[in-house]
């Protein structure tokens, strides 16, 4: 019996993108074929996120669509990733169309499970299969992800999280922290450079907690940045608790480590931070910001913020507003608090801030951040910046789009850029700005790094 054609859809974070690349690699090794067209697929796999309500809604909406398709033709449906891990009972009870439920630590079992599901479908004896055990050791060592060509590639350097922030489900869906062997990460980086990738982004739920036989994250990121052919190295996401001097120095001074730190704040009130179990105070966070900027004033900071966490008062929300004003982040991901099943907050604290209040706070915070982002971007007008070309602009194929070292999006006309191609570094003179984008013109064929 021939292998079925597989279509995989990814919801959520960069780690999920990386895991989908691992899944493709594991399945291709066993002879499975992939299709980009849902209509041509015999198997549809959804690699899911459990962090945000929006991702849940999208997955359940898509499952409703697949229910109709499955009535019309043979189809194996699988739910992978964090939702599979965290909501396995709910999926089992409410989604009879789902044939496979596979957590993030069980992807090595997927080829065999798929073969069994496809065989069972052909014989009229399809039964649900589940693999959701968490592992203390699984890092998918030895599996080279199946990537599509491009400028950037993700590399997961560790998996899991030991922080147990009360709002977060990650420790329950991805298990405890474990780090990959550094030489395997460097081997993967060298292969990426040979394949033409110019930028790598190192991934981990708490990436700066990386530890392996005397290696810390500062040593690892410096070694990755030293690989010939790699122009830029980024990383996400760190926790404010783990920023030793060697890491700050690596970011500040290494020419190929990008001058951008995504530093989740979550809230500006000490009481709310304590309820979240973030392990730092507002003052400690602001002191870290000062240390980062003392090391290198050009390092751009971005963040995550939650509005309406359990019992948050208006005054405590103002603490978040004032912290944002004090730091002046380049950008921020801003969310309403949404209770996640099985988290500490769901067990201990009532979700008691009304939804309209949450929404109004999000709107206010978004507007404050928009004004800050606009002012910071407008301050770049008249400067010439080094941009790594990523590809066509989202809104027009007649324009290029790329990123600065400090992660700002830049757009410029192709007509001004003879010979420009993705993966090149270009010097762009900035002539205009919005809160999200810089606009300019190319002034040379290659910028210095």
* Cβ proximity of 200 and 233 under 8 Å: yes
* Cβ proximity of 402 and 389 under 8 Å: yes
Instruction: Please state, in angstroms and rounded to a whole number, the distance separating the CA atoms of residues 44 and 10.
Output: 11
Is residue 165 part of an annotated ligand binding site?
yes
Instruction: Please state, in angstroms and rounded to a whole number, the distance separating the CA atoms of residues 160 and 105.
Output: 10
Instruction: Please state, in angstroms and rounded to a whole number, the distance separating the CA atoms of residues 320 and 330.
Output: 16
Is residue 307 part of an annotated ligand binding site?
no
* Cβ proximity of 307 and 361 under 8 Å: yes
The distance between the two most distant Cα atoms of the chain, rounded to a whole number of Å, is 68
Q: Angle, to 10 degrees, between the axis of helix 314-327 and the axis of helix 282-295?
A: 10
In Å, what is the CA distance from 292 to each residue of 233, 262, 321? 18, 12, 21
Q: Angle, to 10 degrees, between the axis of helix 110-122 and the axis of helix 14-29?
A: 60
Is residue 310 part of an annotated ligand binding site?
no
Of 440, 308, 290, 441, give the one whose Cα is nearest residue 363. Answer: 308
Instruction: Please state, in angstroms and rounded to a whole number, the distance separating the CA atoms of residues 221 and 48.
Output: 28
Please report, in range form, the residues annotated as the binding site for [4Fe-4S] cluster.
Answer: 13, 49, 82, 161, 165, 168
Please report, in range form, the residues annotated as the binding site.
Answer: 13, 49, 82, 161, 165, 168
């Amino acid at each position: 019996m021939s292998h079925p054609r597989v279509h995989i859809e990814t919801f959520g974070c960069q780690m999920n993108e990386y895991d989908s690349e691992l899944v493709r690699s594991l399945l291709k090794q066993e002879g499975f074929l992939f299709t980009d067209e849902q209509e041509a697929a015999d198997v549809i796999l959804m690699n899911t996120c459990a962090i945000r309500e929006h991702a849940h809604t999208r997955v359940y909406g898509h499952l409703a669509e697949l229910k109709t398709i499955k009535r019309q033709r043979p189809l194996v449906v699988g739910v992978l990733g964090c939702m599979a891990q965290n909501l396995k009972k709910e999926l089992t009870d409410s989604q009879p169309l789902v044939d496979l439920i596979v957590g993030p630590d069980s992807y090595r079992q997927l080829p065999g499970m798929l073969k069994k599901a496809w065989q069972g479908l052909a014989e009229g004896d399809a039964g649900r299969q589940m693999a959701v055990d968490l592992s203390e050791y699984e890092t998918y060592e030895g599996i080279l992800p199946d990537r599509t060509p491009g400028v950037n590639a993700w590399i997961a350097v560790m998996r899991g999280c030991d922080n147990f922030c009360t709002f977060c489900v990650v420790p329950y869906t991805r298990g405890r922290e474990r780090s990959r062997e550094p030489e395997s990460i460097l081997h993967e980086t060298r292969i990426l450079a040979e394949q033409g990738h110019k930028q790598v982004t190192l991934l981990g739920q708490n990436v700066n907690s990386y530890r392996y036989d005397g290696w810390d994250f500062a040593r690892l990121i410096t070694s990755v940045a030293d690989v010939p052919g790699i122009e830029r190295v980024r990383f996400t996401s760190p926790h404010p608790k783990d920023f030793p001097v060697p890491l700050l120095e690596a970011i500040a001074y290494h020419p190929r480590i990008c001058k951008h730190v995504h530093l989740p704040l979550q809230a500006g009130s000490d009481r709310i931070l304590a309820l979240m179990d973030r392990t730092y105070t507002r003052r400690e966070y602001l002191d870290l910001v000062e240390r980062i900027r003392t090391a290198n004033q050009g390092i751009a900071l971005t963040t995550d913020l939650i509005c309406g966490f359990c019992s948050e008062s208006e005054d405590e929300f103002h603490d978040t507003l004032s912290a944002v004003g004090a730091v002046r982040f380049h950008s921020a991901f801003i969310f309403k608090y949404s209770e996640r099943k099985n988290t500490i907050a769901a067990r201990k604290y009532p979700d008691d801030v009304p939804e309209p209040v949450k929404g109004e706070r999000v709107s206010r915070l978004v507007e404050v951040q928009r004004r800050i982002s606009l002012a910071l971007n407008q301050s770049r007008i008249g400067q010439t910046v080094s941009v790594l070309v990523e590809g066509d602009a989202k809104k027009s194929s007649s324009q290029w789009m790329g990123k600065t070292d400090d992660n700002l999006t830049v757009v410029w006309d192709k007509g001004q850029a003879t010979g420009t191609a993705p993966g090149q570094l270009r010097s762009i003179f900035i002539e205009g700005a919005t809160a999200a984008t810089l606009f300019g013109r190319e002034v040379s064929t290659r910028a210095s790094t």
